[in-house]
Amino acid sequence: MSLPDLLTATEDSRTLVALNTWLRRLDAGERIAWALESLPGEHALSSSFGAQAAVSLHLATRARADIPVILIDTGYLFPETHRFAEELRARIGLNLKIYRPRPESAWSAARVEGLADGGATAIADYNRVHKVEPMRRALADLQANTWIAGIRRSQSLSRGKIDFLELRDGRWKLHPLADWTDRDIWHYLLEHNLPYHPLWHEGYVSIGDVHTTRRWLPGMRDEDTRFFGLARECGLHAVG
């Protein structure tokens, strides 16, 4: 079956298996270039402007300089994250699209302070309001039928089996860096003189909101640094 034939059979699970087998042979830049040329509709890249975000931003904008870049500003990002996003926006020339939670639904600072006491249920409720709903709105507003994200298998156990390409409720989702290691990231940043998030150098290996992110300490798994060790994923990358 040829690649064009595969793209017409989107509901067949064998299609995705064959596409992912084919994408495995490409490098990350080639995966992005193929997606921009071959996958339908508008394309968008999401970024949390986390520790190693510069890689996916640089790769994608080399292929398409004006690709919309979605940043979900939860209202509780680190000040360093805002400065990092502005630095990369100016340096790379990002077409940045910032989305925030709806004011009528957003959690107050006082409510957020008690988030850990509410456990996994409260964390899921917070993420639904501050991350998932804004992402759904962003993808709809941008009419994005193809969503590119920089998540990787080596980042956590929960991401250990992600495919290069998924199909969610009719929308393609590409993970061009799925098979990259931390060493691959480091080499790319060094080669292109790109920065890590400034908090990386202070021991933060995964960077989200101020109240749900902890510095890594010996004996911790990377996922223990997020959401009080009760959760790793916010649900954003499960958006259909």
Q: Which residue numbers are catalytic? A: 234
Cα dist. 126→14, 119, 150 in Å?
Answer: 36, 11, 23
Q: Provide the H-helix boundaries in 43-181.
A: 54-63, 79-88, 109-113, 119-127, 133-141
Separation of alpha carbons 29 and 56, rounded Å: 9
Separation of alpha carbons 67 and 58, rounded Å: 11
- Dihedral sign, Cα of residue 117, residue 111, residue 223, residue 120: positive
